[in-house]
Structure 1
Amino acid sequence: MEFKKVQCVKGSYYIYLPKNWCRKFVVGEQKEISMRQLDDESLLILPRDRKVEAQKELHIEIKGNNSLEFIMNKILTAYIIGASRIIIEMEGKEKIPLDFQTQISMLTKGLLGFSIIEQDASHIEIRDLSQSNVIKATMKQMLSKVHLVFENILDVLQKPEDLVHQLQLLIAQDDIIDEYRYQIDRQTHLLLQNPSLSRQMEVSPVECLHFAQSARSLERIADHLGDIAKEIIKIFEKTHTIPKEVINLLQKSLNYYNAVMDHFYRSTATEMHSKLVDMNRIVHEIHESPPTIEEEEIYLHLDRILHHCADILEIRINSAVFRQLL
């Protein structure tokens, strides 16, 4: 980054623009530039004929042969890549089918920060009403939510009176965790498209990418927890009991996940590396345990959870080392 001295002459402030830039864009009779103060208080300077993009907008027209899944995927993609306004209309201004309206409304509720601000029979407008500087908070919420699902599974196993129903409710929590991952992906795209947001978000573009990588591992952990819950239901419906070794290994895996959470923001690379060694010990215990056929699937999922935890630690080690380079 280059620093310029600001000069004050008779109450006006001046800085010199880079000479090479001026030679390229301030030529002939063209002596003007366009300048805009952004929301994060930074200044954007462009050649006069270069338009400043005020808002990223996507218009989606539903054609007769478009499936609901196609339209939903298009909305989700627009959200992730950083669109701030999405307008959905039926081809020929026809009425949007009721099932499309219902599913679009449900999807929007899951897009953190987005809301339908205008809707009639043929038109839906979705807009970003959030701030783009909350990636650390979103990451913390996602870590906590996965922890809560993990902990709740163990709590349910201690009180099996309504085990099947309670586990089914926990399986449904996976959608909420997916929403956090979408939000982090979106925030990452916004920062990469607008580097000036880096100071506002208090995170570098590289660290933002590391958050996105960690979020994907967390999403996979949540998926495995859901699969474990399904396998436990199968075992319980057959035997009306839960093997103690399953509970024991679940608890050890949760303890390891908690250690990853604890080290996520405030540990050195050395401390996090020591936790990677602990992971190998727990994985060894899993493979030493002689499971029944019914338990084997659970143990495989626990193995993957521990490896995803290790992936998160490795990503955070990379972040810690990267900060030392700055």
Structure 2
Amino acid sequence: MKYMEIEGLVERDLGYRRIQCTGRGSYVISLPKEWVLNLGLEKGSQIAFRVLEDSSLLLTPRSILEGRRKAEERSLRRYCLVVSAKDDPKSICRKIISLYVISAELIRVRFREGYSSKFRLPIKNLVKNMLLGSEIIEETPEGMTIQILINHPVFPVEKAIRRMAILALSADRDSIIALKDMDEELIESVIDSCSDVNRLNLYVLRQLKYYLERNLYKELGFKTPKEFLGYRIVANNIKSIADNAVNIARNVKNLKRLIEGQVLFLKEVLDEEVYSQILEFNNFAHQLFEDSMKALFKRNYNLADSIISKIEGSIGIENDLTGLISSKRLDPNISSIMRLILDNSRRIMEYSRDIAEVTLNRSIEEVVIPEAR
């Protein structure tokens, strides 16, 4: 019997065994008797089967698998954060966010010497507004306990990313409409949508890390672990769209205050020609982004390739719009917002290209047959 040292463990070579075929077309192979007896297995014991990337088969008794998971939960998913009076509330919140992202299930915040007044409200707002599926389940003068209740299969990563994209594009569109209508409620809704996108982004990060650490890429529909990075890029790009939309909305809000405070006097807020053409360019950018997301989820190489071609052919349109803005005698405040909207639309197209390239990389081997060696 041969022995090999692998990752600090002794792996034994048990030789070859023949596959038997039953009368009903099932295939059967016997387990090594010594292995069964050593593990205390008997008739009816359950064994988990897992196909590895090289097509080899890994067999693990259920008792070992569940014991491993329980040990992992005890050692990795429960954390205690000790807070002292000299700590910065923002820094403590960032630590809680990081624990959330690395799949913490229970976070105990303990206030040293009972000092807690400046920390409680920021932590409560963080849990409420940023940490999807989290609740404060216990609160005492000495501390707070945060539990993450959401289960990964209930809200899969693809669904979360789709929701992020819808919210981000909606926020971007609303920020442009807000410039025309000067609608305060619409401006605030853009900011709220950005908060929702940020919340979902943290959740997507948490999910991706959870599945990556456990090598469960196939459960997400991935063909290789490399695809985790692609989805991280996608989520980050969507978050950037929402952040840029908030930047536009805040500029519009400041403009509205200048007009209402009679600090700025405008005969007309918008030049209709400039606004309509920028809105059309923005619509084009949105369509490219939606198509890039469709190509990503469907692993459509040809659609992703066509998106990149369209983006490369649109450079002239942006240059024409820049020239149009410069040719008009617009108020500098209006002109700067118009340029900001134009720049944001261009960024959306760049994000579309990034996502299309992710699709090309993850699906190239489905359209090009590898050469046999």
TM-score by length of 2: 0.69
User: What is the rounded CA distance, in whole Å, between the counterparts of 1:210 and 1:54 in structure 2?
Assistant: 28
Contact 2:299 2:362 in 1 (8 A): no
Provide the residue aligned with 2:92 in structure 1. Answer: 71
Deviation track 1:295-326 (CA, whole Å, cap 9, x = no partner) reads 33332222222111211111122222366799
User: What is the rounded CA distance, in whole Å, between the counterparts of 1:91 and 1:234 in structure 2?
Assistant: 42
Worse overlay, 122-131 or 296-305? 296-305
Shift of 1:45: 4.4
What SS is found at the alignment partner of 1:58?
strand
Provide the residue aligned with 1:214 in structure 2. Answer: 234
Contact 1:224 1:305 in 2 (8 A): no
Q: Could you tell me which of 265, 269, 294 is aligned with 1:240?
A: 269
Shift of 1:144: 1.7
Q: Which amino acid aligns with 1:135?
A: V
Contact 2:308 2:353 in 1 (8 A): yes
Structure 2 vs 1, CA of residues 252 and 70 (structure 1 numbering), >3 Å: closer, same or farther? Answer: same
> What is the number of equivalent residue pairs in this alignment?
300
What SS is found at the alignment partner of 1:191?
helix
User: What is the rounded CA distance, in whole Å, between the counterparts of 1:75 and 1:37 in structure 2?
Assistant: 37
What SS is found at the alignment partner of 1:59?
strand
Provide the residue aligned with 1:249 in structure 2. Answer: 281
Q: Tell me, which stretches of 5 or more residues in structure 2 are unaligned? A: 1-16, 21-28, 51-59, 260-265, 327-334
Deviation track 1:76-112 (CA, whole Å, cap 9, x = no partner) reads 01011121111101114x1422x31111111112211
What's the % identity of the aligned pairs? 17
Q: Which has the higher contact order (CA 8 A, sep 6+)?
A: 1
* 2:125 is the counterpart of 1:106: yes
Calculate the aligned-residue CA RMSD, in Å: 3.7
Structure 2 vs 1, CA of residues 14 and 257 (structure 1 numbering), >3 Å: closer, same or farther? Answer: same
Shift of 1:157: 5.5
What SS is found at the alignment partner of 1:53?
helix
Q: Could you tell me which of 249, 259, 266 is aligned with 1:229?
A: 249
Q: Could you tell me which of 333, 341, 358 is aligned with 1:315?
A: 358
Shift of 1:224: 1.8
* 2:291 is the counterpart of 1:259: yes
What SS is found at the alignment partner of 1:173?
helix
Shift of 1:267: 4.8
Shift of 1:180: 1.1
Q: Tell me, which stretches of 5 or more residues in structure 1 are unaligned? A: 8-12, 23-30
User: What is the rounded CA distance, in whole Å, between the counterparts of 2:86 and 2:350 in structure 1?
Assistant: 43
Provide the residue aligned with 1:28 in structure 2. Answer: none
User: What is the rounded CA distance, in whole Å, between the counterparts of 1:52 and 1:6 in structure 2?
Assistant: 35
Contact 2:300 2:359 in 1 (8 A): no
User: What is the rounded CA distance, in whole Å, between the counterparts of 1:118 and 1:36 in structure 2?
Assistant: 38
TM-score by length of 1: 0.77
User: What is the rounded CA distance, in whole Å, between the counterparts of 2:68 and 2:189 in structure 1?
Assistant: 56
